[in-house]
Homo-oligomer: A and B are copies of this chain.
Amino acid sequence: MIESKLTKNQSMVHTCLTQENGPMTAYAILDALREKGFRAPLQVYRALEKLTELKLVHRLESMSAFVACQHGTCEHSGAAVFAICDTCGTVAEFAAADVSKSLESHVKENGFVLKKTTIELRGECRQCYAV
């Protein structure tokens, strides 16, 4: 398991995010971990940086928040897509290989070397819409 390689702080942040089962801001994580000794934003940001690198955690750019990968360690075929409910805040993560392929081909026409893809969908989930 990749998690076994995590340091103490990284592990605490990852556990926190996993238990939350939804997106948290860095400062929300900090507050949640104060009782366990966290004192400063940087402790959270450093852990998040590593976790993101390992793809155990994803950053949601459109809400400046972080969420645990819903596939454990994320080996999607293609980029991850996030559907974010603006009403209840839940996030659904899925892979869309066709989308990634299409974007790559669009971009290669222009000689653009793609390194990272961000796809975030904002809207309302089924449950919230039903209400």
Contacts and interface: CB of A to CB of B under 8 A. Distances in A.
List the number of copies, as a whole number. 2
A92 interface: yes
Nearest to A83: B112
Interface string A43-67: 0000000000000000001100000
Given A96-B102, A102-B99, A103-B121, A86 B61 contact: no
Given A99-B99, A102-B98, A102-B102, A117 B121 contact: yes
A106 B96 contact: yes
B112 A123 contact: yes
Interface of A: 61-62, 81, 83, 85-86, 92, 94, 96, 98-99, 102-103, 106-107, 110-126, 129
